[in-house]
Amino acid sequence: MTQWTDDQLDKVGRAEELQIASVRRDGTLRKPVTVWVVRHGDDLYVRSVGGRSGGWFRGVQEMHEGRIRAGGVEQEVTFVGAGHDLEDEIDAAYRQKYRRYAGRILDSVLTPEARSTTIKVVPRSTGS
């Protein structure tokens, strides 16, 4: 499995927002959606504020592949469900990174619905 480089992790982890576009069944990309992204160790995570009914989240669940762009990094990725054992640590990462936002805004990624959509974003080799 491909891993993030330190440079990619730093750039995407520091980026305020991430553009995420999932792959449709026909292989084309959906329209990119802007989401918050956090880094935890050597991994990157995103959540759907709309929970499991969020449009982009449903798209990601269909093919589990897509493209992200943030902090000058553009990368083909695979979307992997994150273990529930990391939810508190991911919450802490969101609180730390986005603490300057009003409670209601920050809290939108900390609800049980949003937590249930925690996805690990893994770089994917596009092959040659």
Share of the chain above pLDDT 70, in %: 97
Tens digit of each residue's pLDDT (9 = 90 or more) over 33-72: 999 999 999 999 999 999 999 889 999 999 999 999 999 9
User: What is the pTM assigned to this prediction?
Assistant: 0.93
Least Cα distance to 50 among 120, 119, 121, 117 occurs for 117
User: CATH: 2.40.50.140, 3.50.50.60, 3.40.50.2000, 2.30.110.10. Which one for 6-123?
Assistant: 2.30.110.10
Structural domain boundaries of the chain?
A: 6-123
